[in-house]
Structures are given as C-alpha cells and as structure tokens.
C-alpha cells in the first residue's frame, strides 16, 4: 500500500480527490475537472500520467481556497464545523464523537481525529463516515463563507508561491545531478507535493531551503 495521501496510480482514488477539491475551484477549473470525472465515469480511457497531471493542476489551483477554509475551521469557524458535522452524522456516530471530543478536551475536528487515542475511540467504519460527511460539510462552509475568507486565501496564495518556487528549484537541481541521486530528489519532491497539494498540509520553508542547499552542494561535489 502506498504511504502517500494520494496514490496517483490509483485512478478511482484520484477521481474521488478531483470530485472533492473541484468544489473549491473557479468556474473554468471546475468545469474541466467535471468533464474529466464524467469521461472516466463513462468508461473513457484516461492515461494514468494525464490523470495525475490533471489532479496536480487542480490541487495547485485550489490550494489557496483549501488553505483559507482550513484556517477558518481551525479558528473562528470551528464551532460551525462541529455543529454541521454533528447534524449530518448518524446519531450513534455523533454520540461517540461528542463523547470523545469532550473527553479529549479538543477544540477542532482535526485535533480529535489526530488524537493519540482516536483509533481506539473510533472504529474504521465511524472514522470513514466522519471523513466522508466532513467533506460535504466543508463544501457547504466554503460556499457559505468563502467570500469572507479573502485574507486567508491571499495568505494561501503567498504560501503557494513559496512552495512552487522551492520545489521548482529542487526539480531544476535534480536534472543536473547524477542518475543515482535524481531518483532520490524526485521521490522527495513527490512526497512534498503529496503532503502540501494533495493532503493540504504544510512543510516549513526551512526544510525545503535545506534540501535545496544540500543538493546544490551535491551538484558541486559530484557534477554530471
């Protein structure tokens, strides 16, 4: 099993990802994503590499919006997300989640789901339900609150620009390194892109800058 959030070779999973994040896309990007999803659903052949590239493009274009919503629900919007989630879950799942929320003294859903004891408190079935319902809850929140989150979205655009610049530097370095090192660098780039663009996480600028410095030194030590 892949240790990535999104295995780009898994077409059904990639399609599910595109359906989810298309909700945060602008009209043109959303229309393109919906066409791809419809073609796949109709049985048309879509190459694995093409689908992966389309998913990456969509992930990057929607990053600022998803960044904005993530910051909203981790702060002022946390109570709104909880309210919508509890209302949409099965009563039994909502009751279990509410008990664990209170016991863990967590403020946000992410804090509950990442808690060390969450795997004991929540069965796979319940966690799967929570993840599925939460996608729809966040879509609703984005459509309701998105226009008021411009400050967060602009922060997301600045973060995205930094990430893209550093990852491009790594990619440019990779092609100038010996083949034995290239695979290592490209593997790291794929891992960083998975965490940032697909999982919606973050990587510190210091870590990426250190990677660039390290492989710059490698290039000078062992030029092609």
- Predicted confidence at residue 220, as pLDDT, reads 77
Instruction: Tell me: pLDDT of 123 over 80.
Output: yes
Buried/exposed code over 111-140 (b: 16+ C-beta within 10 A; e: otherwise): ebbebeebeebbeeebbebbeebbeebbbe
Tell me what pLDDT residue 100 has: 95
CB 93 within 8 A of CB 121: no
Do the Cβ atoms of 201 and 207 come closer than 8 Å? no
Model pLDDT, residue 223? 58
With a CB cutoff of 8 Å and minimum separation 6, the contacts of 157 are 64
Q: How far apart are the first and last CA of the chain?
A: 34
Distance CA 150, CA 68 (A): 8
**CA distance linking residue 186 with residue 156, whole number of Å:** 24
Q: Is the pLDDT of residue 46 over 60?
A: yes
Percent of the chain residues topping a pLDDT of 70: 98
Q: How many CB atoms lie within 10 A of CB 170?
A: 19
The pTM is what? 0.92
Q: Which of the 8 DSSP states describes residue 53? A: H
Instruction: Give CA–CA dist 120/107, Å, rounded.
Output: 19
d(CA 220, CA 224): 9
Which among 30, 69, 8 has a CA at the least distance from the CA of 193? 8
Domain ranges (residues) in the chain: 11-73+149-221, 78-147
Local structure of residue 148 (DSSP, 8 states): G
Q: What is the pLDDT of residue 1?
A: 46
Q: Give the pLDDT confidence score for residue 47 in this predicted structure.
A: 97
Mean pLDDT, residues 182-207 taken together: 95
């Amino acid at each position: 099993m892949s240790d990535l959030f999104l295995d780009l070779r898994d077409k059904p999973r990639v399609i599910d990802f595109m359906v989810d994040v298309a909700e945060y896309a602008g009209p043109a990007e959303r229309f393109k994503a919906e066409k791809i999803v419809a073609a796949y659903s109709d049985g048309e052949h879509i190459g694995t590499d093409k689908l992966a590239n389309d998913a990456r493009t969509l992930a990057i274009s929607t990053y600022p919006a998803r960044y904005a919503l993530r910051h909203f629900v981790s702060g002022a919007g946390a109570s709104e997300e909880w309210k919508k989630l509890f209302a949409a879950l099965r009563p039994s799942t909502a009751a279990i989640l509410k008990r664990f929320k209170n016991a863990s003294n967590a403020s946000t859903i992410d804090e509950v789901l990442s808690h060390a004891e969450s795997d004991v408190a929540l069965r796979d079935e319940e966690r799967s339900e929570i993840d599925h319902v939460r996608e729809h809850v966040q879509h609703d929140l984005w459509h309701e609150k998105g226009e008021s989150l411009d400050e967060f979205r602009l922060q997301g655009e600045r973060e995205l620009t930094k990430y893209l610049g550093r990852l491009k530097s790594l990619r440019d370095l990779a092609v100038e390194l010996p083949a034995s090192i290239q695979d290592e660098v490209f593997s790291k780039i794929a891992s960083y892109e998975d965490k940032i663009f697909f999982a919606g996480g973050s990587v510190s600028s210091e870590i990426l800058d250190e990677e660039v410095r390290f492989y710059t030194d490698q290039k000078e030590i062992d030029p092609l």
